[in-house]
Amino acid sequence: MNLFNKPAHVLHDMLINKEITAVELANDLFARIDEVEGEVKAYITQTREAALAQAKAVDEKIARGEEISFLEGIPGVIKDNICTKGVKTTCASKMLENFVPPYNATVVEKLNAVNPVILGKTNLDEFAMGGSTENSAFYPTHNPWNIDCVPGGSSGGSAAAVAAGTAIWSLGSDTGGSIRQPAAFCGLVGLKPTYGRVSRFGLVAFASSLDQIGPITRDVTDCAHVMNIIAGYDKNDSTSINAEAPDYTKSLTKDVKGLKIGLPKEYFVAGMDADVEKAVRGAIKQLEDMGAEIVEVSMPHTEYAISAYYLIATAEASSNLARYDGVSYGARVEGTDIVDMFKKTRSEKFGQEVKRRIMLGTYALSAGYYDAYYLQALRVRTLVKQDFDKAFEKVDVLVTPIAPTPAYKIGDMVSDPMKMYLQDVCTVPVNLSGVPGISVPCGFSDDGMPIGLQIIGKPLGEETLIRTAYTFEQNNEFHKSIAPLREAK
């Protein structure tokens, strides 16, 4: 039936109008998974039996004449670092290969309340540490636009599943660009909310002051609807913002007239791919033609953001991952004594990138280096945030590239960590400052790979982001483009 390439809002209308059933939709997605998952490898765990039971329950509800909510009966997936009660949550690590959480993350509870069809858990860079989904302990995920390329990361499985048509929507997490960059690489919409707007309870921690959960969808309309479900205060998360979340669908208006859009000159870095710069500047020109005012702004501390991020994030990772010791939960490798067991467990069960970041973070936090590295990075973080504060005194949103390049070939950067880290130059400042950012498709490279436009907003400014992204999207056809892998065979 080829329902897999339609956005959630279209499928929702089809369910309401009884053009399809939720079971038919689920089976269409399973057929698609059987067709392409062997090439894409987006999933770690599939939950087919539970998904079909959910779909059947929705059909029974519709048959009784009851109303259904937006995501009800719509198949989606959850990144495998978000806890799901009774379903493995591995973080793509040998350390948690067989871990089954005894509780749900708050976002999963919120989803369950509206009865979507959850198809499974998706692949990621181990413990969300990476930008390509090559650092998974199990296998790399492939980009549906070109299976020789990475899908981005760390939420690469979540993005690849939606782009391949093996899910209609997904949840990812974003610590330094891990929603926005894979969304851009896979031609999708990805939103990193304001820090604290979506609960982190049940998200396996990487860097607690940076992590956020958000949606990856086919278009901005779906993104707004998913945000309506997952946003809001949670008493279980001490960093949750105690403020009522708005109805984001009310921001789905095609109007940027009078909107002041800031263009930070520091984000067009030396060495940026010509196709990326062309697509992003073309998008900016379109927004200007639609009535927005373009204002050049300076954010002078942007060049220090990567350095600060990779000290803060690794320091927090070192602290958060200290709990994986082979004693309380997770894997254990037996040793001659407890110290030997501790060493063997962490040496054998953590991957190279995770160990690299633990060591960097432990060094930065060690006596004699704390002030020189970690404390200094916190000071730089404040300066980066002040850059955003000053810019937002003049403009409503900022527009930048997502990454310096489109998706690159698998293997091209994984052996050069510094080169990989520099891919985050446009995304990490958003996490350091806690503001929201969205990726929306804005073009293609000469070899047909998607390119994303990043729109950055004020704290709790998701409504303006959605309005700006929706206006741009609705005046273009990029979001309607289908990855070649998705074409019906």
Residue whose token pair is 């997502």: 402
Distance CA(162)–CA(488), nearest Å, equals 15
Which contacts (CB < 8 Å, 24+ apart) does range 148-151 have?
148/409, 148/410, 149/185, 149/407, 149/408, 149/409, 149/410, 149/449, 150/185, 150/407, 150/408, 150/409, 150/410, 151/42, 151/182, 151/185, 151/186, 151/407
Q: Which residues contact 160 (CB under 8 A, 6 or more apart)?
A: 40, 41, 42, 122, 123, 133, 141, 142, 143, 144, 151, 182, 186
Q: Which residues contact 166 (CB under 8 A, 6 or more apart)?
A: 4, 29, 32, 33, 36, 37, 40, 42, 43, 77, 119
Please tell me which residue in 6, 41, 79, 192 is annotated as part of the active site: 79
Please tell me which residue in 93, 136, 154, 170 is annotated as part of the active site: 154
Peptide bond into 318 cis (omega under 30): no
H helical segments located in 334-488:
338-349, 352-365, 376-391, 417-421, 428-433, 462-474
Q: What angle do CA 144, 147, 153 make, to 5 degrees?
A: 70
DSSP 193: P
Which two structure tokens, joined as six digits, stand for 86?
Answer: 């009774």
Respond yes or no: is residue 385 known to be catalytic: no
Distance CA(211)–CA(91), nearest Å, equals 14
Please tell me which residue in 158, 178, 199, 251 is annotated as part of the active site: 178
Distance CA(318)–CA(316), nearest Å, equals 5
3-state secondary structure of 460: coil
Which two structure tokens, joined as six digits, stand for 229?
Answer: 């479900």
Distance CA(262)–CA(65), nearest Å, equals 49
Distances (CA, A) of 149 to 39, 63, 144, 460: 12, 44, 8, 34
Distance CA(168)–CA(195), nearest Å, equals 25
Q: Which amino acid makes up residue 100?
A: V
Could you please report the per-residue DSSP string of 205-259?
A: PSSTTT-EEEEEESSHHHHHHHHHHHBS--TT-TT---S----GGGG-----TT-
Respond yes or no: is residue 79 known to be catalytic: yes
Residue whose token pair is 């707004």: 224
Distance CA(298)–CA(197), nearest Å, equals 27
Respond yes or no: is residue 178 known to be catalytic: yes
The catalytic residues are 79, 154, 178
